[in-house]
């Protein structure tokens, strides 16, 4: 929009143009009510009318008193936090129902609340800068080294995100604190791509010289990442940082690899394709859909390679049944009608997924049997006999300590002594169960009544 009374640059918004006309040329233009505001007022009027019919006298509230309690900065911060944490659409604030609800809480509410999605975006940017500055100050005043835990997740739209968390002793409270520094997209699982992201984060927060240990899972990319960090600190910062000493491995991932070694023919390292890959992009192919309770819209194709790797035939049968009932909406609804839920699907990279699947499957044993009989023409080879169910119960009982050990050694309360204790427990559990590649399979193939004789 251009002003015909002067040579000012064009105006992009009506509000700035009206302000120019009023201040420079004393021309006042009445604003038209926006569609959002009109819809909001209509919603409010309908709600007030309904409330008046029941005897409420909301219209007599004092506007000035209500205005005094409104603090725009606080309201904006709270709204931004809700939108971010609950993963709401930015256009949520443009909903007449939301605007009407806010004015029901305080009828004097007007300019204190966002009415356009672009305001939400700007507010999030400002909030991020402000909060990052607070985190940076806490990190720089830390009483300890800054230790980083990191991992890569794949989003539903197949984007890799590197999450980096800091663990340190806060100077004020003198207690252990943690903070999510960034959730940054990376091109691949490769160590070089991770190092580029971690280096930028360290320099951005100005904590390069106070770096402690790096905590990550066991794939070789994290080993290479530690060596790249050591080289960078040595060559550019003249800081000695031992890659082997400062590389801490994830106990939960170690437990998961042990379980995978028990369940499959291939060594645990081969399962994750970790030791034989220079470029870890192939790890993407190992990941299955994250949603365990809802099937994909498209057909789920069973991986023959995955099936052949399983040691026990009963596990392979159950795996095929779960794949079958998730392979189409019709089959999914059919099983939901029987069991009122789905069976979690196993996954080599999702911890305790086999235990969770077996636990639910054994609980829904009758429903799975009924479903298999309905689709017997398709699942004849996967039909679970009474002996198969005995074997599955035995496997679940074996996996239960691993599940508990994972829960006991994760979170803020995990300590080195607890991890060492759980390792001793699991080693004894292996020895007691006589779990090895040579005797677990023959043992599982025996009926329960014959196992005592075999022992």
Short-list 66, 155, 77, 65, CA closest to 114:
77
- If asked whether residues 219 and 311 sit together in one domain, one would say no
Q: Per the domain annotation, does 269 fall within a domain? A: no
In this predicted model, what pLDDT tens digit does every residue of 245-274 receive, in sequence order? 999 988 888 888 888 888 876 544 444 444
Residue 161 and residue 132 in one domain:
no
What percent of the chain is modeled with pLDDT above 90?
39
Structural domain count of the chain: 4
Do both 352 and 435 map to the same domain? yes
- In a 13 Å sphere around the CA of 231, the CA atoms on its Cβ side amount to 9
One domain for residues 301 and 384: yes
One domain, residues 449 and 330: yes
C-alpha–C-alpha distance, residues 271 and 404, integer Å: 22
- Among the three residues 140, 166, 199, which one is the final residue of a domain in this structure? 140
Domain of 405?
288-454
The confidence score (pLDDT) of residue 63 equals: 56
Q: What is the pLDDT of residue 151?
A: 92
End residue of a domain, out of 90, 125, 140: 140
Residue 165 in domain? yes
The model's pLDDT over 373-405, given as tens digits with 9 standing for 90+, comes to 999 999 999 999 999 998 899 889 889 999 999
Predicted confidence at residue 414, as pLDDT, reads 81
Instruction: Give strand pairing partners of 154.
Output: 160
Number of Cβ within a 10 Å radius of residue 409 = 22
What CA–CA distances, in Å, run from 291 to 165, 213, 277, 357? Answer: 24, 32, 27, 13
User: Are 127 and 178 in a shared domain?
Assistant: no
| Half-sphere exposure (Cβ direction) of 441: Cα atoms closer than 13 Å | 12
Mean pLDDT over residues 113-125, rounded? Answer: 88
Residues 118, 191: one domain? no
| Residue 240 and residue 91 in one domain | no
> 165 and 209 in one domain?
yes
pLDDT band at 294 (very low <50, low <70, confident <90, very high): very low
Task: Give pLDDT tens digits for 30-42.
Answer: 777 677 777 777 7
Taking residues 40-57, report their average pLDDT. 62
For a pLDDT cut of 70, what percent of the chain falls above it? 79
- Indicate if 183 and 122 belong to the same structural domain: no
pTM, to two decimals: 0.66
- The reply to whether 108 falls in a domain is yes
First to last CA, the chain: 90
Residue 356 sits in the same domain as residue 425: yes
Instruction: Note whether residue 258 is domain-resident.
Output: no
Shared domain for 226 and 314, answered yes or no, is no
Residue 249 pairs in a beta bridge with 216
């Amino acid at each position: 929009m251009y002003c015909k009374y002067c040579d000012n640059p064009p105006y992009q918004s009506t509000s700035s143009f009206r302000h120019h006309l009023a201040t420079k040329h004393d021309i006042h233009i009445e604003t038209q009510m926006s569609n959002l505001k009109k819809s909001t007022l209509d919603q409010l009027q309908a709600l007030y009318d309904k409330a008046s019919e029941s005897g409420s006298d909301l219209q007599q509230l004092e506007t000035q008193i209500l205005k005094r309690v409104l603090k725009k900065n606080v309201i904006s911060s709270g709204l931004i936090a809700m939108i971010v944490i609950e993963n709401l659409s930015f256009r949520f604030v443009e909903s007449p129902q939301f605007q009407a609800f806010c004015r029901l809480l305080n009828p004097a509410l007007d300019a204190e609340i966002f009415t356009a999605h672009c305001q939400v975006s700007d507010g999030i940017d400002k909030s991020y800068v402000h909060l990052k500055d607070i985190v940076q100050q806490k990190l720089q005043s830390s009483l300890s080294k800054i230790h980083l835990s990191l991992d890569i997740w794949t989003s539903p739209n197949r984007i890799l995100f590197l999450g980096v968390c800091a663990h340190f002793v806060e100077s004020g409270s003198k207690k252990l604190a943690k903070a999510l520094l960034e959730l940054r997209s990376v091109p691949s699982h490769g160590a070089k791509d991770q190092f580029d992201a971690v280096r930028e984060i360290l320099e951005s927060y100005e904590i390069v010289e106070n770096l402690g240990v790096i905590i990550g899972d066991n794939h070789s990319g994290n080993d290479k990442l530690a060596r790249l960090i050591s080289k960078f600190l040595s060559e550019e910062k003249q800081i000695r940082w031992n890659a082997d000493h400062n590389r801490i491995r994830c106990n939960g991932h170690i437990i998961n690899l042990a379980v995978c070694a028990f369940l499959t023919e291939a060594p645990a390292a081969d399962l994750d394709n970790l030791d034989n890959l220079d470029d870890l992009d192939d790890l993407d192919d190992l990941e299955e859909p994250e949603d365990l309770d809802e099937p994909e819209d498209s057909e789920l194709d069973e991986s023959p390679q995955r099936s052949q790797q399983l040691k026990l035939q009963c596990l392979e049968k159950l795996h095929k049944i779960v794949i079958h009932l998730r392979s189409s909406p019709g089959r999914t609804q059919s099983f939901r009608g029987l069991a009122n839920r789905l069976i979690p699907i196993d996954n080599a990279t999702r911890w305790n997924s086999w235990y969770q699947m077996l636990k639910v499957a054994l609980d829904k044993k009758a429903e799975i049997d009924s479903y298999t009989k309905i689709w017997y023409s398709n699942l004849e080879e996967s039909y679970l006999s009474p002996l198969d169910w005995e074997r599955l119960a035995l496997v679940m009982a074996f996996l239960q300590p691993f599940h508990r050990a994972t829960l006991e050694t994760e979170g803020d309360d995990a300590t080195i002594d607890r991890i060492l204790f759980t390792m001793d427990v699991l080693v004894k559990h292996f020895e007691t169960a006589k779990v090895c590649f040579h005797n677990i399979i023959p043992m599982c193939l025996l009926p329960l009544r014959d196992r005592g004789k075999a022992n």
